[in-house]
């Protein structure tokens, strides 16, 4: 509050100084064209600019200062034959006060017109009308209080006086007001957004087109450098380095600390809560906009064309593990927030950027923040960890582990899978049988092999994909299991295959379908065999209309109670498409991307949106580009990276409007 008062005083001092300088410096505020006899003023333009930017009170103040200065000038520095008449405050001050106040009032009303094109056009019209009003008021009061003056009588009466003035300096002043006032006001507001809380920036169609570019262009190089530094950190969940200090492993802690240090350097209030989650804060208020992202990543498995932890750019495409999930979106959100802070674009509410370290393997960091630390829930929130334009529904998720006794003769070891929510793209098999090796080879399973001390080590490759869309990948472990079924002709092995191979869950009697959310999905993300025991990790997604307990019971009925172990269930998420949150985020995407046909989506993926109230997933994947999320050679288009930053900036400010309107019924 104190800073705003100081800023307001500084602005008033600036306009006061400007009016004084233009009044008393010859040929600056009052200009006479030699040889023609035409004179005009620029003083009214200064008042109009102040009135447009700041409204009624400032317009009234600057108009009054204009009048006082004209009175002093008339008394001390008269030039024309009519100047002595302006010593009367009713002639010099009163009309300028009325002019300034009315100008501010009308500009404020115009700026609230919802149609930006109409509003912006009326800015020019009003500048011209107010210029005419200034001349008319001044000349009318001049005539009214000086009707017996010989110079007024010589002018030929009121109509003649008005006509002569308008035919000369009045037209020039009118044109100057129309040209200069809206454009200089817009330029000032672009250069100094914290100059005013005026809605001008929100309703001007030129501002809508140009402002975000102007604000965010300065962060382009910096944001890419920041992302490159974050990508260089291998922040995969790591059991080997896991400790009380590093609950998710040293790499995750390093990535969280990287963001924490960045926030402190840039002047944010930031907290690192036990290397589980980093909180970055801007603004104050009981209501908030919360952005939930994460810096942990899935392992960089598969065949990469370059080092996955060295972000490179090829043909305007950025490559590296995490550029799309979720380090790139986190950096976009961060710089959108930084722009809001640097330009003081938001007030009356708080903005939080929460950066977790465990999204890919349990979301424990976010649970710690809301459940253990008891932090307040979002008023509105989004997580930049899915698709544009906006996600109105997410399937529920049940992860479970199968431990099944199995005797695979001549199979010493099978190892595959790095994350339960990713399609397995590489399986390693160790066997000690020539016959089984030949069967694998003939079946196309042997992509690579080594023979040493009577043991064949076979590598079979598949294609990775996100666990929510297993149909987009090729699960190498399921192909190996299929080959084993054909080789052994064993009913037990066949039964296991028939239960876990179908991608829709039919094998375990847990298939479901809904109109808005589609069908269920099942992904085998972990598949290991040793010591005559098969270990399988399954990521299953269910749709609305299904009962969680019934799903679990069907799984138990198929696999046996002693053979299955369930993890915590991720709830199903659903918002109405016409809710304020969904409508606002979708509108921001459409406005900035120019994609007018986009509609809110339902997805199988589970995001941080399930860990907080009033939150949905929002970008930053575009429908026309495959980022290879959870796959080798993960990437994003550089232009999409910059575009997303603008979308997130607009979305945060738009949600801020909702908060101010108290439309928090989601």
Q: Final residue of a domain: which of 525, 541, 557?
A: 541
Instruction: Say yes or no to pLDDT of 205 above 50.
Output: no
Asked if 295 and 389 sit in the same domain, the reply is yes
- Note whether 80 and 117 are same-domain residues: yes
Give the pLDDT of residue 80: 67
Q: According to the model, what pLDDT value does residue 665 have?
A: 46
Looking only at the bridges linking them, the beta strands covering 620-621 and 426-431 are unpaired
pLDDT value of position 525: 96
Give the per-residue pLDDT at 478. Answer: 97
Least confident span in 13-17, 243-247, 529-533: 13-17
Name the residue with higher pLDDT: 329 or 166. 329
> Which string of DSSP letters, residue by residue, matches 426-457?
EEEEEE--HHHHHHHHHTT--SEEEEETTEEE
In a domain? residue 551: no
CB 237 within 8 A of CB 360: yes
Please report, rounded to a whole number, the percentage of residues in the chain having pLDDT higher than 70. 89
- pLDDT band with cut points at 50, 70 and 90 for residue 97: very high
**Residue 212 pLDDT grade (very low, low, confident, very high; cuts 50, 70, 90):** confident
d(CA 635, CA 641): 11
Of residues 448 and 81, the one with the higher pLDDT is 448
Q: Is 251 a member of any domain?
A: yes
Q: Where is the domain boundary, 499, 521, 541?
A: 541
Residue 473 has pLDDT above 80, yes or no: yes
- The CATH number for 66's domain is 1.10.1760.20
**pLDDT at residue 183 greater than cutoff 90:** no
Q: How far apart are CA 364 and CA 341, in angstroms?
A: 29
In a domain, residue 556? The reply is: no
Q: What percentage of the chain has pLDDT greater than the value 90?
A: 66
Three-state SS sequence of 50-94: HHHHHCHHHHHHHHHHHHHHHHHHHHHCCCCCCHHHHHCHHHHCH
Beta strand 350-356 pairing with 521-530: unpaired
Q: Which domain holds residue 220?
A: 215-395+573-661
In a domain, 548, yes or no: no
pLDDT tens sequence across 442-470: 999 999 999 999 999 999 999 988 899 99
Give the integer Cα–Cα distance in Å for 178 and 193.
23
Between CA 435 and CA 33 the distance in angstroms is 106
State pLDDT tens for residues 516-529.
999 999 999 999 99
Secondary structure letter of residue 398 according to DSSP? E
Given this model, what pLDDT does residue 200 score?
Answer: 43
Q: Is the pLDDT of residue 581 over 90?
A: yes
**Four-residue CA torsion sign, 101, 103, 108, 109:** positive
Q: For residue 84, what pLDDT is reported?
A: 82
**Closest by alpha carbon to 346, among 292, 285, 291, 265?**
285
Question: Rounded distance, CA 287 to CA 44, Å?
Answer: 42
Check the CA dihedral 506-512-518-521 and report its sign: negative
pLDDT at 664 (0 to 100): 44
Task: Specify whether 101 is located in the same domain as 188.
Answer: yes
The overall average pLDDT reported for the chain is 88
- Check residue 630 and give its pLDDT: 84
**Residues 119, 8: one domain?**
yes
Same domain, 500 and 369: no
DSSP for residue 507 = G
DSSP H or E run through 526 = strand 521-530
| pLDDT value at 231 more than 90 | yes
- Tell me the per-residue pLDDT of 268-302, one tens digit each, with 9 for 90 and over: 999 999 999 999 999 988 899 999 999 999 999 88
The pTM of the full predicted model, rounded to 2 decimals, is 0.64
- Indicate whether 292 and 380 sit together in one domain: yes
Counting beta carbons within 10 angstroms of the beta carbon of residue 230, is it exposed (0 to 12), middle (13 to 18) or buried (19 or more)? Answer: buried
Q: What pLDDT does 36 receive?
A: 44
Lowest mean per-residue pLDDT among 131-145, 206-220, 397-411: 206-220
Last-in-domain residue among 195, 227, 251 = 195
Q: Is the per-residue pLDDT at 162 higher than 80?
A: no
* Domain presence at residue 567: no
Q: Does 253 share its domain with 188?
A: no
Least confident of 81-85, 367-371, 606-610: 81-85
The answer as to whether 554 is a domain residue is no
What CATH number is attached to the domain comprising 600? 3.40.630.10
- Is the pLDDT score of 53 beyond 50? yes
**Which has the minimum average pLDDT: 81-95, 237-251, 543-557?**
81-95
Q: In this structure, are 390 and 417 located in the same domain?
A: no
Identify whether residues 320 and 453 lie together within a single domain: no
Do residues 148 and 258 share a domain? no
Would 107 be classed as within a structural domain? yes
Overall number of domains in the chain? 3
Same domain, 219 and 312: yes
What pLDDT does residue 209 have?
43
Residues 541-563 have a mean pLDDT of 95
**The residue to which tokens 């970055």 are assigned:** 280
> Between 129 and 182, where is the model more confident?
129
Q: Is residue 99 part of a domain?
A: yes
Residues 357 and 423 in one domain: no
């Amino acid at each position: 509050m104190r800073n705003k008062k100081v800023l307001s005083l500084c602005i008033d001092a600036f306009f006061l100084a400007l009016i004084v300088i233009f009044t008393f410096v010859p040929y600056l505020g009052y200009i006479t064209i030699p040889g023609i006899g035409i004179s005009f003023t620029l003083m009214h333009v200064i008042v109009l600019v102040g009135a447009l930017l700041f409204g009624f009170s400032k317009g009234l103040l600057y108009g009054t200062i204009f009048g006082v200065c004209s009175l002093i000038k008339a008394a001390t520095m008269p030039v024309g034959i009519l100047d002595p008449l302006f010593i009367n405050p009713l002639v010099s001050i009163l009309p300028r006060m009325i002019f300034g106040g009315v100008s501010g009032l009308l500009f404020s009303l115009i700026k609230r017109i919802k149609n930006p094109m109409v509003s912006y056009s009326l800015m020019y019209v009003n500048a011209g009308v107010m210029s005419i009003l200034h001349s008319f008021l001044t000349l009318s009061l001049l005539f009214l209080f000086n009707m017996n003056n010989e110079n007024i009588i010589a002018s030929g009466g009121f109509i003649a006086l008005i006509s002569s003035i308008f035919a000369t300096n009045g037209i020039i002043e009118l044109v100057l007001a129309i040209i200069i006032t809206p454009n200089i006001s817009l330029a000032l507001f672009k250069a100094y957004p914290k100059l005013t809380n005026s809605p001008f920036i929100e309703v001007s169609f030129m501002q809508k087109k140009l402002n975000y570019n102007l604000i965010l262009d300065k962060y382009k190089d910096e944001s890419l450098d920041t992302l490159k530094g974050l990508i260089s950190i291998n922040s995969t969940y790591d059991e080997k380095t896991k400790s009380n200090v590093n609950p998710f492993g040293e790499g995750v802690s390093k990535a969280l600390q990287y963001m924490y240090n960045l926030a402190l350097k840039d002047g944010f209030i930031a907290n690192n809560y036990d290397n589980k989650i980093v909180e970055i804060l801007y603004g104050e208020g009981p209501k908030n906009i919360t952005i939930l992202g994460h810096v942990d990543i899935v392992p960089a498995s598969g065949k990469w064309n370059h080092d996955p932890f060295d972000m490179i750019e090829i043909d305007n495409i950025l490559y590296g593990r995490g550029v799309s999930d979720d380090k790139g979106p986190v950096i976009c959100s961060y710089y959108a927030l930084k722009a809001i802070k640097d330009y003081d674009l938001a007030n009356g509410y708080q903005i939080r950027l929460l950066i977790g370290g465990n999204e890919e393997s349990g979301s424990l960091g976010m649970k710690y923040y809301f459940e253990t630390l008891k932090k307040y829930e979002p008023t509105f929130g989004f997580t930049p960890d899915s698709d544009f334009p906006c996600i109105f529904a997410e399937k529920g998720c049940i992860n479970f582990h199968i431990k099944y006794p199995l005797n695979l003769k001549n199979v010493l070891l099978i190892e595959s899978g790095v994350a339960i929510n990713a399609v397995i793209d590489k399986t390693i098999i160790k066997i000690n049988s020539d016959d089984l090796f030949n069967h694998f080879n003939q079946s196309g399973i042997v992509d690579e092999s080594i023979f040493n001390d009577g043991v064949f080590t076979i590598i079979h490759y598949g294609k990775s994909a996100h666990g929510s869309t297993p149909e987009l990948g090729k699960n190498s472990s399921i192909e190996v299991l299929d080959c084993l079924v054909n080789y052994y002709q064993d009913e037990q092995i066949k039964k296991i295959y028939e239960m876990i191979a179908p991608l829709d869950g039919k094998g375990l009697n847990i298939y479901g379908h809904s109109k808005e959310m589609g069908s269920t999905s099942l992904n085998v993300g972990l598949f290991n065999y040793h010591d005559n025991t098969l270990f399988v990790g399954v990521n299953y997604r269910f749709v609305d209309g299904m009962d969680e307990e019934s799903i679990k019971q069907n799984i138990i009925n198929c696999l046996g109670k002693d053979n299955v172990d369930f993890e915590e269930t991720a709830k199903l998420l659903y918002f109405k498409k016409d809710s304020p949150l969904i409508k606002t985020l979708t509108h921001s995407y459409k406005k900035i991307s120019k994609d007018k046909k986009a509609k809110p989506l339902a997805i199988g993926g589970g995001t941080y949106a399930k860990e907080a109230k009033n939150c949905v997933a929002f970008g930053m994947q575009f429908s026309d580009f495959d980022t290879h999320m959870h796959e080798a050679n993960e990437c994003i288009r550089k232009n999409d990276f910059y575009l997303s930053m603008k979308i997130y900036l607009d979305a945060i400010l738009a949600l801020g409007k909702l908060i101010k309107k108290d439309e928090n019924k989601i």
